[in-house]
Amino acid sequence: MANPVLPSSGVLSPLGLDSVRLAPGFWGDRAALNREVTIAHCLDWDEREGWIPNFRGERPRRGREFSDSEIYKLLEAMAWAGHPALPALAETVAGAQEGDGYLNTRWTGSRYTDLEWGHELYCYGHLIQAGVARLRTHGEDTLTRVATRAADHVCRRFMEGTQTCGHPVIEMALVELYRATGAERYLEMARRFVERRGLPALADIPFGRAYYQDDQPVRQAQVFRGHAVRALYLACGVVDVAVETGDEELLKAVEAQWERTVARRTHLTGGMGSRHADESFGEDYELPPDRAYNETCASIASIMLAHRLLLATGDARYADLAERTLYNMLATGVALDGRSFFYANPLQVRVPAVPLDGVNHAPEGGLRSPWFDVSCCPHNVARTLASLPAYLATSSADGIQVHHPTPAEIRHGGLAVRVETGYPWDGAVTVRVLEGGRGRIALRVPAWAKGATLARGGVTREVSPGYASADGPWRPGDELRLELPMTPRWTFPHRRVDALRGSAAVERGPLVYCAESVADEPPLGDVAARVAPPVEHHVDGVVELEVPVSLGGGEPAGWPYGDAPDGEPSGPDTALRLVPYHRWGNRGPATMRVWLPVG
């Protein structure tokens, strides 16, 4: 099965790229753009920046100590996309592998002298994930052999002892290689890496051990903390180990950490990681919109984690968060032309970013950049969009479940259906049976979709958030129609989220909206919104919204603190246009805000 995550047990089984085929639509278009533009864009930059030439032995070596991992993520994207340049790039990588399986262009000659920051095992993790992708889409070849030799080298070198890597990812990679090959040493190595963490396994560092989740054993942790990508990649590996070893306690520990993190450390967009400092989670309720870091990679890691927890438990809340993160983070991370990327994803930008010479923007999030010195996000977007069909639907003994409706054909167990929908712009989702069969067809009803209905054969009934289903047998031409209410809605923060008090945001369906001020449009500094029903405008296939606001008040005359509460803005009333957050920043430098003060 062509699938990045294939657990041997769980409430739901994933359907892979061979079972789910995207058609033109919100995600199908993005997957096509990724295949045709973004992968080539990355390949071009990786060559030009020297990160591929590093594997040919070109010196001086260029790029950061972990730049090998970017080539592996690109190889993974190519494997899922069936890209013709994969074999040649795999040969280049193979040329740098040493006789015992060791492979790293930075540390060759001084291997494993800095596990805290060296990223050697991290790089292997991405190499192994690329190898598994190739194995599952093509079968054995140079790339799979390089990855397996590296994994065997890791098992020989690290099976005994107390060491691990400063940046998790190898844990989930090894479990997946175990799933793909059946070789138990990979699972055992992953299990040991998970259990070693927090004993501690790494040296103390100025950031503190929580930065790389080595402050306490994973079973004892209460919440995700430290560097967000590290924390979420580790959690993915922990779920994988727990599922394959039947360790219920370990799975429950991650579920509890996820629940608290979602309740207290997650932005409306699904973004995780409040702090620019250390690219880390903040404290509970530390969720400032303007200083939100929300790395694109952390959101991808969150989607990967939610998917794993969904497969293990069948609980719709994991798919709900995945949906929020897919539409408001993954889709935001890449420009509409597929050639530039956000690294950080704040919810407010006060000053339009200044375009530089096309590369190496500080990853602050005001303008997408074609490249970064640390280009984890572009490659991560590429591999995720290339494997996206695997995240959309699942199967069980009952039948199939569609978690994320988008135009696609889904085949499983003799049943074939076509999903037809204009989602997320339109709330109607039709599942048309192409080839009949038995089994239940279930469609996720998101938590926000109050009053949704499901129609079959002229009978319509209201359905609650969770899963709405209908039972077979199915004949070709049978139809199931889900109607999700798409009325725009105002969303308010809990008072504990100090930075957002007194403000509100607008959502419609799965989309978070924002005000974006390009060029001459009104400044967003002191708008005050009236909580009134937003007006919809359909513009070139996109739904924009308009809300009433008052402008004015202006800047304070001096010291911005006084002895009475600030009054309402006194300026004129006007209408403020809101656009989907994922589309912002595609019209040049702009200011932007998701949360609007309520006046």
CB 369 → Zn ion: shortest distance, Å?
Answer: 12
Omega into 476 within 30° of 0, i.e. cis? Answer: no
Nearest to 282 by CA among 319, 228, 335, 241: 228
CB 218 → Zn ion: shortest distance, Å?
Answer: 23
Instruction: Select 146 or 297, whichever has its Cβ closest to Zn ion.
Output: 297
| Per CB under 5 A, 272 contacts Zn ion | no
Q: Candidates 8-16, 98-106, 324-332, 375-383: pick the segment binding Zn ion (CB under 5 A).
A: 375-383
| Per CB under 5 A, 377 contacts Zn ion | yes
Q: Candidates 274-282, 369-377, 387-395, 407-415: pick the segment binding Zn ion (CB under 5 A).
A: 369-377
CB 225 → Zn ion: shortest distance, Å?
Answer: 18
In the three-class reduction of DSSP (H, G, I as helix; E, B as strand; rest coil), residue 99 is classed as coil
Q: Candidates 58-66, 368-376, 421-429, 501-509: pick the segment binding Zn ion (CB under 5 A).
A: 368-376
CB 343 → Zn ion: shortest distance, Å?
Answer: 6
Contact 245, 191 (CB under 8 A): yes
How big is the site for Zn ion, counted in residues (CB under 5 A)? 3
DSSP characters for 547-591?
A: EEEE----S-SSSS--SS------S-EEEEEEEEGGGTTSSSSEE
**In the block, which residue shows the tokens 């539409």?**
327
| Per CB under 5 A, 42 contacts Zn ion | no
| Per CB under 5 A, 238 contacts Zn ion | no
Q: Of 278-297, which residues contact Zn ion (CB under 5 A)?
A: 297
* Dist CA 147 CA 145 (whole Å): 5
Q: How many residues does the chain have?
A: 599
| Per CB under 5 A, 381 contacts Zn ion | no
Question: Tokens at residue 314, please?
Answer: 């069948």
| Per CB under 5 A, 484 contacts Zn ion | no
Instruction: Select 378 or 389, whichever has its Cβ closest to Zn ion.
Output: 378
What are the distances in angstroms from CA 385 to CA 4, 429, 542? 12, 22, 21
Instruction: Select 43 or 500, whichever has its Cβ closest to Zn ion.
Output: 43
DSSP characters for 435-486?
A: E-B-SEEEEEE-TT-TTEEEEETTEEEEE-SEEEEEE--B-TT-EEEEE---
Omega into 473 within 30° of 0, i.e. cis? Answer: yes
* Dist CA 39 CA 276 (whole Å): 28
Question: Which of 165, 376, 402, 528 is close enough to bind Zn ion by CB under 5 A?
Answer: 376
CB 297 → Zn ion: shortest distance, Å?
Answer: 3
In the three-class reduction of DSSP (H, G, I as helix; E, B as strand; rest coil), residue 159 is classed as coil
CB 339 → Zn ion: shortest distance, Å?
Answer: 17
H or E element: which one contains 322?
helix 316-325
Q: Tell me the per-residue interface mask from 294 to 333 with Zn ion, x by CB under 5 A, - otherwise.
A: ---x------------------------------------
CB 374 → Zn ion: shortest distance, Å?
Answer: 7
Question: Tokens at residue 363, please?
Answer: 């990853």
Instruction: Select 236 or 528, whichever has its Cβ closest to Zn ion.
Output: 236
The binding site for Zn ion (CB under 5 A) comprises 297, 376-377
